[in-house]
Each structure stands twice: as structure tokens, then as C-alpha cells.
Chains A and B, each alone.
Chain A
Amino acid sequence: MFKKTNIRFIIIGLALLLAGYSLFWTIAYNTFSEEKLEAMRTDGTIDQFEARTIRLGLDLQGGMHVVLELNIPRLVETLASNKTPQFDALLEKCTKEHRESGEDFFTIFRRNVDVEDFKLVRHFNDRGYKNSEIIASLQDESKDAMQRALQIIRNRVDQFGVSEPTIQKAGQNRIIVELAGIKDIEHARNLIQSTALLEFTLLKDPQVTQSFISSVDNYLKTGHGDIVKEETAEEDTTVALKESKDKAVSVNELLGISETDAEMESSDNDTSLVVDEELFAEKPFSSLMRNVHNSIGVPEKNVYAVKKILANPEVQKLLPYDSKFLWSAKPERVTTNDGKTENYYLLYHLEREAGIQGKYITKATATIGGAQTKASGQPIVNISMNNEGAKIFSRLTGSNIGKFLAIILDDKIYMAPRLSVKIPNGSAYIEGLESMEEAKNLAIVLRAGALPAPVDIMEERTIGPSLGRDSINTSAKVGLIGFLLVIAFMAFYYKGAGLLADLAVLLNFIFVMAILATLGATLSLPGIAGLILTVGIAVDANVLIFERIREELERGKTVRAAIDAGYNRAFRTILDANVTTMLTALILMQFGTGPVRGFGVTLFWGILCSMFTAIFVTRTIFNFRTDRKILKTLSI
């Protein structure tokens, strides 16, 4: 018996350890100062914290929630040619039906086309002859448009200026965008809705890039000298001090030698800046970069530091006027000589002016290279341009053979293929793609700039940061008062056993928070309400048990027997009651949107944890006491 109780204590101890570990990140993260956070951003160690922290919902930290929908009727209208009044009327009728019934647009469209015996082939080219073929092709087109819309918004993620934006596809043709803590709502809305800009721009000569990087290295080296000077001569005038301090901050953080960073480096080498120590002093800028397939590769952890240096006004002055730097859209996984695999973002140095706009593209498709071509059997992307585009492209390719041309969507580079021949007729192909998947993605990017996907805002909610703060304050205050009232009542009504129940409620709170942190869940206002309700449910379990124990004691049972009977009898009741509430919570998680869902999540896990704390934990402590000596009376 004694051993059994020990095992129970060990289980509880383990659960607490696990909970403590998963809560550690949240607690640590929230105690960091803003300087420390900025330092972590620069040396790339912040990700491991952000991924494991309980995030606050939009209603608590302020932000923007947008639901977008692909406007399929408008897409079909754009794709149609020779529109007749009959066609317009058909489309209008379908649109109206679609809006009213919420039924799938294409189902309605197909039905109406059949009823009116409409010949769709008169209005759509290259999509087959039969109505069914044309409708299937339009459906594919709408899926493609959805892909493009998602691609465009994802591509703009870092322009939103928030740390962890959520962009997800919902259902067939909806996109949900959540931007926590966003300040400029107007700007975000424009970013979401504006059409994408596709450009092709020539890369700068490597020599030009090389000389720029060297000059930045030199500049930073002199900057580093300034810091040393400041440390030795502390009695400088305040103005001078201020100046040198500014420089000290950027260089310090770049080199990862601020106090906190030094600590990090010694304790955890993997997460620190990927920099060759010896190169530091000599080449503070270029040592942050690597050669990746003959392009400039920047390890993911160094990206923030490199961006910071490039944004420095003094560094900007060194940059050749007719050029700019842009980043690759996605990181590349590269294994370096020393066997370390890492994500690299590629940094490109380009002409300031675009060589040709993407709007001239009429078609971009992924396919397998034909037998007689150089790319035979490999995935390629075919591009066609209209006449105007063909002329510009011919001139561009003709005079730049051997140079690299970057494909840029909204200032993100997807690829920079080499121009191998002059392309006179506006029909080109891109080779050197690793897989069909990559080819398809590139084709989506190329189409994104040419064929806008019409999206409408269906829902938009914004919460100001002050309201979020107020909500946290009131809900924390209110929650605490409710919690204390319950705790006081239990201790008052059930004395010793009541304190035990209070302990269980406290543990329950810790466990639920730990689970939320592990799941990476978001805590919203309704979530807090769910948490408070969980307190009630956890207490109820103990009330059921204690009432039963009292009843059994009154029947003359010994303390030990009364406890056993009380727990056994009450367990069935608690289980049935909790399962039904959990079923409701699950349904809320399934059907609910946003806030209601958050409520369901905390309620579900709260009840599950309460079964452990209110039954298992309290029982263990009762057992512990009855194991050691036979209790004559029970404080209940």
C-alpha cells in the first residue's frame, strides 16, 4: 500500500516537472526586457522561445483578423470573352442564387447552364467544347486563383510588420489572416487586397557586389574602433558619447558580443550566430554570409543582423545608386563542408530598375521538357508573352546574354535563371528546376503577377491595443477575485479537505496552462472565461467526493472505508458528468469560429486536467495520511 502511494507521488511529480518545463519558456519570455528581446532577434535565438510561448489572442493584445473570399463569379466573368447580354444575365442570376443560398457557385452555374441549354463554348476559348469540360476547367482555374491569392499574401508576410502572422486557407475559397499587434490597419488592408507586382530584373555584376561588401566591412571595422575609444575615454562630452553609443549598439549586436549574448554563446553553441570567430574582426559584414551555389547565402539566424546593417543609413550611402538588395522568398536547405545542414536565405544584388514587368505574361505552365530540347525529361516552366512584352523581352535578352535575370514577386526573388540565348518571340522556358513541385510553384508565381485573383473582405475585426490591455487587466482582476472566493469558501466549508481541493484547483490551473503552451494555443478572452469555468467544474468534482465521504462517515464507516467508498461512488458520477461537458466542448471546437473555439479548447483540456487533479491528486494525499496512521476523524 505504502509503495502504491509512492508511485502516485512520483506520477504527480513527473507531471509537475513536465508542466514546469513547458511553462518555463512562457515565463522566461515574458520577463525579458525589450533590449534583451532585440538582442535575441539579432542573434536568432528568439524563435525557440516564441514557438513555445502561450500566445495572447487578438482580443488581448490587439490586432486584426480578416477573412477573405475568392470572388468566383467575378473570376468567371474575367475569364469569359465575347460577353453577350444573355451571358451577363446568366452570370448575374447564378451570383444572386449563390449569395442567397450559400451553395457552391459551380453547382449553381452547372444547373442553370443545363436548364437554359446554354452553349458555353461561345464564351470560353481553349477550354473544350462540352459544357461539362468548360465548367471543370473553370473550377481548376478557381483553385489556381486560390493558390495565387494565398501565395501573394504569404509572400507579403514580413511587410505586415508583426512577429507571427497567421495565414490559413479555410474551406474551399477562403483565407483567414490574423495579424497580432498590428498598428497600421489601413496599410495592412491595402497589402492584403492590392494586386501583386511581378518583375524581372537583372542581377548586378559580381564584382560590383563584391566591392560593396568590402566597403561595408571596412566601414564596420572603423565603427568597431569607435567603441573601443568610448570605453577608454569615458569622460567625453555627452554629445559625443551619444553618437558613439548609437554605433556601439549596432556593431555590438551584430557581432554577438553584448553581455547576454556572450552568455548564450558559451552555454549553447548551436543557437548562437553562425559566424567564423576569426573572420569577425577582419570582415564583420561578409563573415555573416556564405557562398551557396555561387550566390550570397545568409544563414537564417543571421538574416536579421544583415538586414539591420543594410538598413543603416551610412551603409546605404555606400550602395551604388542604381542598385538594390532583395531576398529570396524561401530559405534553401544547404549542407556545408563541416556537415551542418542549415537554412539559408539568398541575398541578391540587383539593378534598381526592372528589366520587364510581369504583366506582359499571358501564360505560364509547368511541364516536362520535350525530347528534342536541352531540358529533355526535366521539369520546366513555359512562358508566353504578348506582342508588346515579346518586343521588350527580345531587346532585354539580346543585350544581356550570360547575365542572370531575377524573377521577383512583390520584392521577393523566386529564382534567378541565366539568360542563355536571345528570345525574340516572347516564348521562353525556365530550366534547372529540382522537381515538378517546384516548377508548379514557380508557374503559380509567374501567373500571380499576370492574372489577379479577385478577393473580397468578408469579415474584418480590429482591436486596439488599449482595449486588449484593459481586457487583460479586468479579466485578470475578476478571475483572481472569483478564484479567491471559491478557495475561501471551500476551506471554510470543508476545512482540511477543502484546502486539499484548493490545491487541486491550483494544480489544475498550472496543468491547463502547460497544455496550452505545449499545443502552442492562443489564449483569448473567451478562453479565460473557459478557464474560470473550469475552476467551477474542478471544484464540483471535489464537492461530489466530499459530500459522499461525509455521507459514508455518517453511516458509521471508518475513515479509510469512507474515503474509499466516497471516491469510488463519486468517480462514476464525475466521469459521466464530465464526459458530457467535454462532448459539448468538442462540438464548440468543431463548429465554433475564433473566439468560441478558444472557449471550447480551454474548457476541454480544463475538464480533462481536473479529472487528474481533483480525483487522483487529492486521493493520493488522503492515502498518504491514512497509510501512516489510522485516522479516527477526518477534517471534512
Chain B
Amino acid sequence: MRFFKETNIQFIKFSKTAIILSSVFLLISLVSIFLIRGFNLGIDFTGGTLVQVQFEKETTTGEIRNALASVNLQNSVIQKSTGTNEYMIRVAQMNDENDVPTLVTQGLKKINDSGFEIRKTEKVGPKIGQELRRNTIYAIVFAILVIGVYISIRFQFRFAIGAVVALIHDVLFTLGIFSLAHLEISLSTIAAFLTIVGYSLNDTIVLYDRVREDMKIMRFDPIEAIINKSINQTLSRTIITSLTTFFVVFVLIFASGEVRVFAIAMMIGVVVGTYSSIYVAGPVVIAWQNKFNAKKN
């Protein structure tokens, strides 16, 4: 069985449209991140306390807030996990004198003496939060740099530029969606971002590898034609791999908690990664080549 036999789609033709589309979305992302919504950072990065409670009976956010008011924690962020009777209660401070989870337990007893179970508590000090934020930025920047160096060695410098631009595009894109949708960014989301980096790169490298091979065969063709051909040649692999990965990641969405957020990030990543390896990684190499040639002439 085959989905595609030899295709000859003119991908590069649409690259101008794609670049405009990407630019517009990245602009929206940046505006959202820096000017309007910012990030919904989890306590891993801000410091604070999180308590996960499961109730036996249906309970509303209002009831919980009232109960928490008795211990002066009415300003907590209370979030229901979809499809369950479970709530996440987030408190800004991590108070050493009064253990916050103990306070929350005390407060919740107002609703029902024993009809709930504390499933998870997390307390993160502000100093740790700050450090994690710093380390995470290091990790992402460092990862992109190392990958750039590797591609420069294995391919050519302009390919490295293309891959790095594609990576930054993907990360910004995903961050933009997280900012717009106000999804929480936690440690496992960061792991997901780095996986997106790896995944999108996979696609890009498969393409570049083919371009490297085709450049030897189609020595006198313009770079646009070579890249377009390579995209078509690898298209069937790209679709199948994206599809299988999508299966796995899609199923993960039905898991709970951190894994779910991870899966959402990965879903976005698979789609954006596939798109960017065709419409960002390719065109950047073309643009670089054209500029370079123009100078030489």
C-alpha cells in the first residue's frame, strides 16, 4: 500500500506566502508573550505551592474558595482537571512557618471532613524557581547552538542557519500558542519543547540529507528546483512518520497531568515541525544561497 507515488508538488512556489504567514504568526506570538498575556508559568518557575485534591463528591470552585477563605488562602488559583473531580490549588507563597498544604487541608475540612484526598503537594522556593528558569533558558540556547555546530560540520554553514532558524521558529510558535491559550508552562513542558526541537530537526535533517545527495546529481539545476525535488522525494516518509508520531502523541493526550501537557506541546510540535522543515528550513537555505551568489557576481 502507498499513499504517495512520485509526487511533483511545487512547494517552493508557495514559500513567499508561507513566509508571510509565519511572520504574521510569530509577530502575534511575540506581542502576546511580551506585551499582552505573557506566560502562565507553573510553580516550578515562579515558586509557590501546589496542592492536588481529589474529592469524592462533585465540588465547585466556589465551595473550595469559600473553604479556603477560612485559612486566608482565598486568593489561590483553583483549577479543575477536566473529566475528574480533581482540583489543582495554587498558592503564590511557600510559607515556611505554616505549611501551606496543611493549611489547605484544614480549610477543605470545612466542606467535608474526610471526603477528599490530597494526592500531590509541591512546594518550590523562589530561589529554586529562578534557578530553574535560568537553567532552562541555558538548556534551550545551548541545545540550539550545539545542533548548529553539528550541522555546520556534517553539512554546510548555510544549512545550519536554515536549521537553527527553523528551530527558533518552532519554539517561538509553540511558546506563542502556550501564551495565547494561557497553558501552564512547567518543567515537563520544557522537556516537550526540547523534544520538539529534536523532532523538527529530525525532519529538517532528513530533507537536508536528500538535498545534499540531489545536489550531486542535479549539479546544474537551481537550488530551488533541487530543494523542491528533495521535498517531494521525502514527502512520503515525512507524512508517514508524522502520522505514526501523531498517533502516539494523540493517545498521550488522554493521560493525566504533566504527560497531558507534554502531549499537547508535542502535538503542536509535530505539525509545526513538519511545516517548518518544508517552508522554513528549505527557503532559508535558498535565500542564503541567492544572497551569497549575488555578492559573488
Contacts and interface: CB of A to CB of B under 8 A. Distances in A.
Interface of A: 67, 69, 99, 102, 456-464, 466-467, 470-471, 474-475, 478, 481-483, 485-486, 489-490, 492-493, 495, 525-526, 528-529, 532-533, 535-537, 539-540, 543-544, 547, 550-551, 554, 569, 572-573, 576-577, 579-581, 583-585, 587-588, 590-596, 599-600, 603
B248 A573 contact: no
B146 A587 contact: yes
B42 interface: no
Nearest to B149: A583
Contact of A583 (B127, B135, B146, B262): B146
22 contacts: A457-B123, A458-B128, A459-B125, A464-B118, A470-B256, A471-B256, A478-B259, A481-B251, A482-B248, A490-B244, A525-B258, A529-B191, A529-B252, A529-B259, A533-B245, A543-B241, A547-B234, A554-B6, A573-B205, A587-B143, A594-B187, A595-B191
Interface residues of B, number: 71
Given A585-B198, A596-B191, 6 more contacts: A457-B96, A459-B123, A475-B255, A495-B1, A526-B259, A577-B206
Contact of A478 (B195, B213, B236, B251): B251
B245 to A, nearest CB: 4
B85 interface: no
Contacts of B152: none
B201 interface: yes
A595 B256 contact: no
A462 B120 contact: yes
A64 B37 CA distance: 34
A463 B122 CA distance: 8
A69 B237 CA distance: 50
Contacts of A462: 101, 120-122
Given A457-B96, A459-B128, A536-B244, A593 B255 contact: no
A581 B198 contact: yes
Given A475-B255, A482-B252, A595-B187, A580 B202 contact: yes
B184 interface: no
B130 interface: yes
Contacts of A547: 234, 236-237, 240
A534 to B, nearest CB: 10
A535 B248 contact: yes
B209 to A, nearest CB: 4
B138 interface: yes
B22 interface: no
Interface string B137-160: 011001100110011001000000
A584 B198 contact: yes
Contacts of A495: 1
Contacts of A590: 139
Interface of B: 1-2, 6, 52, 54, 96, 101, 117-125, 127-128, 130-132, 134-136, 138-139, 142-143, 146-147, 150-151, 154, 187-188, 190-191, 194-195, 197-199, 201-202, 205-206, 209-210, 213, 233-234, 236-237, 240-241, 243-245, 247-249, 251-252, 254-259, 262, 266
Contact of B119 (A463, A474, A482): A463
Nearest to A488: B247
A535 to B, nearest CB: 6
Given A102-B131, A529-B259, A467 B119 contact: yes
A489 B209 CA distance: 26
Contacts of A483: 248
Pick from B123, B151, B234 the residue with the most CB of A within 10 Å. B123
B262 A529 contact: yes
B120 to A, nearest CB: 5
Given A471-B256, A478-B254, A593-B132, A584 B121 contact: no
B239 to A, nearest CB: 10
A595 B150 contact: no
A585 B210 CA distance: 25
Nearest to A572: B209
B247 A587 contact: no
Contact of A461 (B122, B190, B213, B262): B122
Contacts of A572: 209
Lowest 7 CB-CB distances: which A-B pairs, in order? A591-B139, A482-B248, A482-B251, A581-B198, A467-B119, A458-B125, A584-B198
Nearest to B118: A464
Contact of B244 (A459, A481, A539): A539
Contact of A67 (B96, B101, B128, B146): B128
A48 B217 CA distance: 59
B213 A569 contact: yes
A484 to B, nearest CB: 9
A543 B241 CA distance: 7
B248 A536 contact: yes
Contacts of A595: 187-188, 191, 258
A539 B233 CA distance: 19
